[in-house]
Structure 1
Amino acid sequence: MRRTPLVLALVLALAACGDPASTGAAAPAADAAAAAPAQSAADAAFAALSQRALDDLLAMSPVSATGIGEHRHDHLVDDMSAEGRAKSLATARSLLADLDAIDVATLSRENQVDAAILRNQLEYGIWDEEVMQRWAWDPQVYSGLAGGAIYSLMAREFAPMPDRLRSATARMEAIPALLAQARANLEPARVPPTHAQTYSRQNAGVAGLLEQFIIPAADQLQGEERARLDAAMAALRTALDEHQAWIDATLVPNAKGDFRIGAEKYDQQLRFALNSSLSRQEIRDRATAELARVRDEMYLVARSVLAGREGAPPTPDTPDADQQQAAIEAALELAYAERPARDEVVDFARHTLEVATAFVREKDLVTVPDAPVQIILMPEFQRGFSVAYCDSPGPLDKGLDTYYAISPIPEEWTQEQVDSFLREYNKFLIHVLTIHEAMPGHYLEGAHSANHPSVLRAVLRSGPFAEGWAVYTERMVADAGYLDNDPLFRLMQLKFYARAVANAILDQGVHVEGWTKEQAMDLMVRQTFQQASEAEGKWVRAQLSSTQLATYFVGAQEHFDARRAAEAKWGAAFDLKDFHDRMLSYGAPPVRYARQLLLDEPIE
């Protein structure tokens, strides 16, 4: 997830799927004392500081606060003026000074983890404001705030519609000032061309949120309130049109910045964004070795499914590079052929959720929440890019549903578009997606993490923990014999994992090693077998973000490392379900802290 202005860098650390209300998982007895430590003077001081940090930071980032589930500021938008950013910076420095005054070594182990998380987020926000300076060159800062100001209010039913419409009215009245701040802050010579072009499309799409969310519900306000709503919409449309003219006439033609951030900034951001024990070089070395290993494993699977097939390419025991490539591609074609019909995608995705849930229960891999995830149709404006995703409320919005959103094929698509899409999202890959997004991936992880009592940890939950867990579960479930060890499922699971590995290599290749588009496309299309259209989109994403693409691989590696360390320490006493439940009981901190809590290692 992108971290943009200072306050967003401090609070918007939510993973792709967040915080459902309940689970049957319980922390083991050995961890109960850590979960409810005695309140020493230092612990009490840190508890007060944590509450103040959340109150202050969420107040300064109202758009983020709404998404997180803090609704006291739903009528406001972020102040991105020089004065507003200076206030945010001063607040972060004050909080950091107060944190420095606490003897962290005397805190409970759980509070030591939260203190480390808070320190990382504060330092990250200060660095982002002063060194990275996204406010000056990344227009997505402003598109995210303008669109998020409306979407975060209207997408979930956390309050009655009239109340949300009143808040939306106030925000629509405030967005024109935010757009003016964007024009004042952005320096076209520093803005990369891809960022400017993307911003042009994103700004044009903000008005679509009015059509999607506001207008259909507007009749729920009457009289003066309805008149104010209509006036706010009209003024916002005018402001968006004026801003669009500035983007297209001034920003896009003069955008000359380099999207590559370079080794020094990349290493600094990597430390903050991932909060991992792995360095850039360690990540690169692991990913390179893992890609070779995965391709070798894919070749072994390909040999098994191609054996005896007429017209199959040769599959010698020791293939050269071309033979390995040809065999894997031929085997993948067999998986691509197993796809749902155009009108069967939703029903098939529902089927995979049933299968995955039953399998996890049968194999007793991890405690499964009592309440199932709710299946919904994906909203129309989000269709066309993926078959499914997990959509959860913010961590402070307790009691709201978590959705597994499934996309039907858009009716206007041609048969050629449908065929291309379903080659990638074939039946086997939809199974992998369901494992990743819902069971036992994002949904289940969020359900367990919601039980941890730390509000700070819930708000600042680790993306690498959540994404890494979801990637980890793909292999964990496959290793347990999912779909009766169907080799084509294993092949697609390996292909999907190879995408995560490639993301980490691509991220460094683009921002540190100066890769060309041709190098990036070779990694994605030839080496990791992605469809060309998907790879084109990933090339753009690699330009628009830095370090986030490494999240999936690094998080998964740390989860695998933690499991190996637990197996080594516990020996014959190691129990897989117990390990999973314990790791998930800590509230999704950076993986290294969950491991340190689990194995009673020093918190560092």
Structure 2
Amino acid sequence: MHKHLLPLALLTVALAACQPQSQNAAPADSGKPESATAAQPSQADRAFADLSKRWLEGWLQLNPINATQVGDHRFDSEVDDLSAAGRQKALDFNKKLIAELDAIDAKQLSRENQVDALILRNQLQGDIWSTETLQSWAWDPQIYSGLAGGAIYNLMAREFAPIPERLKSATVRMGKIPELFAQMRENLDPARVPKIHAETVAKQNNGLRELIDQFITSNADKLSGDDRKKLDDAVAALRKAVAEQQTWLDKTLVPNAKGDFRIGAANYDQKLKFSLNSALSRTEIRQRAEAEMKRVREEMYGIAQTVLKDKPTAPEMPAQPTPEQQQKAIEAALELAYQEHPKRDQVVDFAKETLAQATAFTREKNLVTVPNDPVKIILMPEFQRGFSVAYCDSPGPLDKGLDTYYAISPIPDDWSDEQVESFLREYNNRMIHLLSIHEAMPGHYLEGAHSAQFPSTLRAVLRSGLFAEGWAVYTEKMMTDAGYLNGDPLFKLVQLKFYLRTISNAILDQGVHVDGWTREQAMELMTKQAFQQEREAAGKWVRAQLSSTQLPTYFVGVQEHFDTRKAVEAKLGDKFNLKAYNDKVLSYGAPPVRFVRQLMLDQPIE
């Protein structure tokens, strides 16, 4: 997955890779593609450019912790204000801007600005709805814990400025994190907070101490005199605040958390609209996912018949199997892949090997232009663990070419041998190859580096999670079709299993939040129909409770990518070139995929 920023509405995916910008500079203008610069911009285009610039400026000020990650470092000493007054300020800002956007004649905008206007409208409407209707600020403690951790991590994880300068900003910012904790305690209504959310944040809270040790105290000797004293005082005060927060979490929030983690059909449908910005409805997503799961399982059965042929322990595999026969055959074939996995302490090293191999293959097969931007594999910071196994964390769109992080969560120390084996069977050798393809090459990392070249800063900051996740899943199939790992049929089988996870994610999310699924129903889908190991499925059950409408982004995104490629292939016929197509798709700056299709096929922007 691509790591998500946490703006006030928790709806924006703003994870674009580096776009050149001078350090500490004000944000760039919304911008127009180079193709539009030759013509004089219309009055509507000029009005929209001004509006976009003012929205970005206001958004960065309202979300200073995210501004640091985006790469605007004017607010590095500030933290977000989630008090009632702060929320009202954000609401007033969003409502004013959307009224101004309504006054612009969209038909007079350039095609690229029509896309950006629809993206901005979706953002503004989503932020307003989230604050007024969903009210995550009143029941989701993850908002506050994510901001507290990000306040330090976003400052110190990348070298966008000299360490002493960043430490001085961190000194001031750490002094303001206790106020964020106070707002959390004031805003949250324990009767509305789900138990799973409270317990997860209680486990993550001490990760702030790890961040202090890793990034602050380990570099404290870079300051001296009064600056060093201020830093030491801020660290001591924050450590005390973290301890007090832990007591409140353990003694007050967790015992009294009584909320339902299910957001219900009405909220789900509205949030789905804002999160995905897709033309597909919840019903259409469900129907398409169920049909695709049936098709993929049939394809997996055909591979199982091949890899198990002539094996003495192979189950019965007739041409027209019963559901039970299909299940047993696929499980038996996957068992061959499960036997080959790294040792507990070798997962990260093996991931580095797979990244190098996937990069070489992508270049060799000329599938897409490969950038030279740096990417590093790291252990996932503790404050971000418990949600996913891995993520790609690209530098902000306003920062210079800094490292992209491919982060992997370590196996918990308290897991039993049985739990570890379950995890490693799921993340076997072939699955780690796929993880590196998805998160890095030619998935998230490559896509982020390409998308950063598009000149619209607004589009970079409001980068579509649907596009990003869909692209990453699309590349899994593309690499397999190109013969990765010498066309190994077991790799193809594991790739299809990985794709089943994408499909089941979409079904699971609806099942949990709309249909009221129990844990047993969720585990049945994941472990039986999608062949996931118990540890993977158990983790996904937790993730489905902690989030909503993010899990479908993988399936909906890849379906729209598949649809777009099919439409372009049909239009170009023999003139279709895969590398040229992929480069073109990535050249638009990662808007929602439906806009890419409309731009590539010269369709109306809507």
Aligned residues: percent identity?
65
Q: What's the CA shift string for 1:534-580, capped at 9, x where partnerless? A: 11111111111110010111100000010111122222322222211
Indicate conservation of the 8 Å contact 2:375/2:445, yes or no: no
Indicate conservation of the 8 Å contact 1:7/1:61, yes or no: no
Aligned-pair distance for 1:178? Answer: 1.1
Q: What SS does the corresponding residue of 1:177 show, helix, strand or coil?
A: helix
Alignment pair present for 1:423 and 2:421: no
Q: What SS does the corresponding residue of 1:403 show, helix, strand or coil?
A: strand
> Match of 2:212, as an amino acid?
L
Q: What SS does the corresponding residue of 1:190 show, helix, strand or coil?
A: coil
Q: Which moved more, 1:385-394 or 1:226-235?
A: 385-394
Counterpart-to-counterpart distance in 2, 1:569 and 1:34: 24
Q: What's the CA shift string for 1:194-224, capped at 9, x where partnerless? A: 1111121222322222122211111111111
Q: Which moved more, 1:395-404 or 1:176-185?
A: 395-404
Q: 1:346 to 1:143 in 2, by over 3 A?
A: closer
Q: 1:537 to 1:409 in 2, by over 3 A?
A: closer
Q: Which residue of 2 aligns with 1:599?
A: 601
CA RMSD after TM alignment: 2.2
Q: 1:72 to 1:4 in 2, by over 3 A?
A: closer
Q: What SS does the corresponding residue of 1:390 show, helix, strand or coil?
A: strand
Matches within 5 A, 1:364-379: 364-369=366-371, 371=372, 373-378=374-379
Q: What's the CA shift string for 1:442-468, capped at 9, x where partnerless? A: 111111111100000000000010110
Indicate conservation of the 8 Å contact 1:375/1:406, yes or no: no
Indicate conservation of the 8 Å contact 1:384/1:410, yes or no: no
Indicate conservation of the 8 Å contact 1:428/1:489, yes or no: yes
Q: Which residue of 1 aligns with 2:29?
A: none
Q: Which residue of 1 aligns with 2:77?
A: 75
Alignment pair present for 1:498 and 2:496: no
Q: Which residue of 1 aligns with 2:13?
A: 13
Aligned-pair distance for 1:90? Answer: 0.4
Indicate conservation of the 8 Å contact 2:466/2:592, yes or no: yes
Q: Which moved more, 1:390-399 or 1:274-283?
A: 390-399
Indicate conservation of the 8 Å contact 1:345/1:407, yes or no: no
Matches within 5 A, 1:263-342: 263-342=265-344
Q: Which residue of 1 aligns with 2:186?
A: 184
Counterpart-to-counterpart distance in 2, 1:308 and 1:389: 40
Indicate conservation of the 8 Å contact 2:200/2:386, yes or no: no
Aligned-pair distance for 1:358? Answer: 2.6
Counterpart-to-counterpart distance in 2, 1:213 and 1:413: 27
Indicate conservation of the 8 Å contact 2:374/2:402, yes or no: no
Q: How many matched pairs? A: 591
Q: What's the CA shift string for 1:261-294, capped at 9, x where partnerless? A: 1111111011101000111001000111111111
Indicate conservation of the 8 Å contact 1:4/1:128, yes or no: no
Unaligned runs of 5+ in 1: 23-30
Q: What SS does the corresponding residue of 2:74 show, helix, strand or coil?
A: coil
Counterpart-to-counterpart distance in 2, 1:247 and 1:408: 25
Q: What SS does the corresponding residue of 1:189 show, helix, strand or coil?
A: coil
Equivalent position to 2:235, from 216, 219, 233: 233
Q: Which residue of 2 aligns with 1:556?
A: 558
Aligned-pair distance for 1:320? Answer: 0.7
Q: What SS does the corresponding residue of 2:75 show, helix, strand or coil?
A: coil
Q: Which residue of 2 aligns with 1:445?
A: 447
Q: 1:35 to 1:335 in 2, by over 3 A?
A: farther
Aligned-pair distance for 1:404? Answer: 3.7
Counterpart-to-counterpart distance in 2, 1:21 and 1:180: 36
Q: What SS does the corresponding residue of 1:142 show, helix, strand or coil?
A: helix
Aligned-pair distance for 1:405? Answer: 4.6
Indicate conservation of the 8 Å contact 1:149/1:171, yes or no: yes
Counterpart-to-counterpart distance in 2, 1:384 and 1:45: 44
Counterpart-to-counterpart distance in 2, 1:201 and 1:37: 56
Q: 1:367 to 1:190 in 2, by over 3 A?
A: same
Q: Which residue of 2 aligns with 1:84?
A: 86
Counterpart-to-counterpart distance in 2, 1:14 and 1:256: 32
Give me the TM-score of the superposition, normalised by structure 2: 0.93
Aligned-pair distance for 1:255? Answer: 1.4
Aligned-pair distance for 1:377? Answer: 4.0
Q: Which residue of 2 aligns with 1:479?
A: 481
Indicate conservation of the 8 Å contact 1:7/1:57, yes or no: no
Q: 1:255 to 1:5 in 2, by over 3 A?
A: farther
Indicate conservation of the 8 Å contact 1:284/1:505, yes or no: yes
Q: What's the CA shift string for 1:135-165, capped at 9, x where partnerless? A: 1111111111111111111111111111111
Q: Which residue of 2 aligns with 1:27?
A: none
